[in-house]
Amino acid sequence: MQFLSTIGIFVILVILGTILNNLLPRIPAALFQIGLGAILALSPLIQNFEFNTATFLTLVIAPLLFTDSYKISRSKFWLYKNPILMMSVVLVLISVFIVGYIINLLIPSIPISAAFALAAILSPTDAVAVKSITKGLKLPKGLMDILEGESLLNDAAGLVSFSIALSAVITGTFSIASATQNFIKVALGGALIGLVLGLILIKVKSFLGSLVSSEASAMVIFQIVTPIFVYTIAEHNFHVSGIVAVVITGIIYNLEKDIMQEDNVDSESSLLIENNQTTIGYVLNGFVFVLLGYLLPEIFINMYEYKELTIKEALFYALIITTTMMLTRFLFVYIFYIRFPAHTFTSLQKIGKALTERKLDIGNYTRFEYALITSLSGIHGTITIATALLIPITLPSGEIFPLRNTILFIASCVVLLSMIIGTIFLPKIIKIEEDLQYKEAIKIRRKAIKETIEELKSNHNHTPYVPNVKNDKEVNNLRKKQISFAMVIKKLEEQYIYYYNTDDVRDVAKDLNSMYKELLTLEKTKLKTLEEKYNIKNSIIYYMLEIRQLRRTKLLKYSISEQVILQIKLAIKEYQFRRALTALSLKTIYDSRTKENNKKINSEEIISKVTSKLFPNFQEITKEFNDVALDFIKNQAKNYNETAVFFLNDIIINFTNVLFIRYVTDPTSYKEQYDELLMEAIQLQKYRIMTMKKLKHIAHEDADIILRDLNYSEALLFTKE
């Protein structure tokens, strides 16, 4: 129970860190999550939480790297394969040796093998943290793709380097030649096992899919346990790198996703898997940072108590190590700069232009700026923390691991320093991306929605439904279509308002509330007039008007508390209506049988007789009541926001004659018409966006984001109940 409650608290802190990041977007969510974890450690909420390194690596790190490799863009990975491989393998090895020797020079009490272990711990980078810091900034072209590919591969390279260095510490012997040989053996062995297991598991997955085709959740569970299975087999059965194996298997699954799933007749499992992998990646990334924050107080306390180094000295060394890693990274990128931009020289003109102008396709950045940004983007995070936590407390001989507390402290400080330095300096160096394109995309989205509304109104210009017995019998489909039409138009107009900027949305909401409040006051006065004029107090017609008004109010309220209150009021009014209607029907039956000497009365006759009593003044009363809203809305354009008036006007017109029908009709009875019309609305929007994309009226990336959202909305229509 304690374990589950601890996991629950950690996940809550992950979400809270994201919320704080949205409020202060220039500060990475990871920093907030670390801070929240530290606060948790100092609070009495969790007692005696035990960290198990093997479990952590198997259940957290392996699934996290599998998710990254599963979701990476293979086309961009291949386009930037040279810089990615150079950064993730060559730079990692160079950094491990340079930084390892510097650590040993700064702190001679740390053996050279342990120094290399610390350097290996510090080599992996975290592209997620970089994305958080550079949100809204224009990185050099292709750099984020390189950073993502590097982050994926050097996680594996760093962990392999660490395991080799750790083995050297345990055995007490270290040789560069032997270490290099072990690196190749463990890494290639892991890659081979990952490839073989990936191909086998794809076959098993396909077979499982044929057995459980009606239950997509089984496929999701299979994919979730895949990295745990692969890691365990590679590490414990073949003694090669489980992390490399998991990464390769993830890439195999990535390939299978494109080849087998995209054209699948039933794409429900694909959609579920994609969404679940995203959620898993988000939770696990945040989980590791919260865990670091949770362990930080203990790391600081141990540094203070064991006095391996003073905290001041350790902080100074952490700063030197961080600076050394960034400088090494800067020089590496600056020297091999020509290998980083994508060379897509597809014509003699492009080659000639590149050679004469000596300017590569990276955006408006110099060689120095490119190298500096890449250096500052070498932020350490998830894997650095996870690897540091894998250091054992004691050696097999029973001795304490040399300066373990110091290594953990320095690793934690390097993570924090790299994030803080990146947060401060990256926004100053990176050119601010003009948000004009984004604003244009939003304008285009709103334009597409508005044109869709107009086309739907043109295509479905129904004859207004007037409630009476004849229509109830003969034109049942008409009212269903009108209810569906009203609901879809309302949904689209809400989306239209949503794509305003925040201040404009507030203005629309404020004017809508003020305008509707004014209308309710007028209708309340009119209801009293009608009550006196037609003597309808507590009558069926009176209840119908009240129910209709409450239902319209529910359409315009977006507060949960208000919705609950309105639902209670509706339940009371609907009960009174049903009671009055039942009483009238029973009285009609009794009177009819009395007058006609107990003759059997069929249901058709009862309906006719009840309606004749119910409807004498119904049309006249409802018209007078409806005219209040129609007359009111005509003159509001000069007093209130145009969009708010437009929205309320359509609510009044489209729902006037179907609001009460929505109450007496089972909502599922018009679901088919509603889904068909909503599908039409989505298709109309997709057509417009795709046309704009082809005509280059909208950026390719922005169009894809909009189309993805529309496709998701479309998929939700077919969710199995």
Q: What is the pLDDT of residues 172-195, one digit of tens each?
A: 666 667 767 777 888 889 999 999
Report d(CA 197, CA 184) in Å as an integer. 20
Better-predicted residue by pLDDT, 43 or 130: 43
Token couple for 141: 């072209």
Tokens of 151: 């982050």
3-state secondary structure of 692: helix
- How far, in Å, CA of 465 to CA of 239, rounded? 75
Q: What is the mean pLDDT of residues 15-33?
A: 86
Q: What is the pLDDT of residue 360?
A: 58
Cα 716–chain centre separation: 16
CA dist list (Å): 523 to 241, 518, 520, 627, 632: 74, 9, 5, 10, 10
In the three-class reduction of DSSP (H, G, I as helix; E, B as strand; rest coil), residue 137 is classed as strand
Nearest to 712 by CA among 283, 274, 223, 260: 274
Asked if pLDDT for residue 249 goes beyond 80, the answer is yes
Residue 359: per-residue pLDDT? 53
pLDDT for the residue numbered 268: 67
Collect contacts of 496-499 with beta carbons under 8 A, ≥24 apart. Answer: 496/446, 496/449, 496/450, 496/453, 496/643, 497/643, 497/647, 499/442, 499/445, 499/446, 499/449
Inform me whether the pLDDT recorded for 149 exceeds 80: yes
Who has greater pLDDT, 525 or 577?
Answer: 525
Residue 153: how many CB atoms within 10 A of its CB? 24
pLDDT for res 13: 93
Q: Is 50 exceeded by the pLDDT of residue 531?
A: yes
Q: How confident is the model at residue 469 (pLDDT cuts 50, 70, 90)?
A: very low
| pLDDT score for 558 | 84
Beta-bridge mates of residue 400: 394
Position 265 pLDDT exceeds 50: no
Task: Tell the residue number behind the tokens 């790297």, with chain if given.
Answer: 65
Structure tokens at 117: 């272990």
Structural contact between residues 232 and 197, judged by C-beta atoms closer than 8 angstroms? no
Q: What is the pLDDT of residue 435?
A: 47
The pLDDT assigned to 356 comes to 52
| b (16+ CB within 10 A) / e for 667-699 | eeebeebbeebbebbbebbbebbeebbeeeebb
How far is CA 699 from each of CA 54, 327, 418, 704, 705, rounded to the nearest angstrom? 46, 36, 33, 9, 10
Residues 594/597/598/602 CA torsion (nearest 10 deg): -90
649 pLDDT higher than 70: yes
pLDDT score of 428: 85
Q: Residue 394's beta-bridge partner residues?
A: 400
Asked if residue 248 lies in contact with residue 195, where contact means CB atoms within 8 angstroms, the answer is yes
DSSP code of residue 63: H
Q: How confident is the model over 25-31, as a mean pLDDT?
A: 82
**pLDDT higher than threshold 90 for residue 335:** yes
CA–CA separation, 145 and 127 (whole Å): 9
pLDDT of residue 36: 93
Lowest model confidence (mean pLDDT) among 128-137, 226-235, 559-568, 611-620:
611-620
Span 256-263, average pLDDT: 61
328, pLDDT greater than 90: yes
Residues of the chain with CATH 1.20.1530: 52-277+303-310+319-433
Among 21-35, 94-108, 381-395, 656-670, the minimum mean pLDDT is found in 656-670
Closest of 348, 343, 381 to residue 359, by C-alpha:
343
Q: Determine the Cα–Cα distance for residues 255 and 262; give it in Å rounded to an integer.
A: 11
The closest alpha carbon to 291, from 23, 4, 2, 6, belongs to: 6
Average pLDDT over residues 280-301: 86
> Which one of 3.30.2420, 1.20.1530, 2.30.30, 1.10.287 gives the CATH number of domain 52-277+303-310+319-433?
1.20.1530
Confidence of residue 482 (pLDDT cuts 50, 70, 90): confident
Q: What span, in angstroms and rounded, lies between the C-alpha atoms of 39 and 290?
A: 10
pLDDT band at 260 (very low <50, low <70, confident <90, very high): low
Average pLDDT over residues 54-67: 86
Instruction: Write out the two tokens for 316.
Output: 């100074």
Q: What is the pLDDT of residues 67-93, one digit of tens each?
A: 988 888 887 888 888 899 899 888 988
The stretch 370-397 carries a mean pLDDT of: 82
pLDDT score of 282 more than 50: yes
DSSP for 422-437, please give it.
HHHHHHHHSPBPPTHH
Which letter, b or e, does each residue of 581-601 get, where b requires 16 or more Cβ atoms within 10 Å of its Cβ?
beebbeebeeebeeeeeeeee
Query: DSSP secondary structure string, 304-366?
Result: HHH-SS-HHHHHHHHHHHHHHHHHHHHHHHHHTGGGSS-----SHHHHHHHHHH---SSSS--
Mean pLDDT of 687-710: 83
The yes-or-no verdict on residue 60 having pLDDT over 80 is yes
Q: How many residues does the chain have?
A: 721
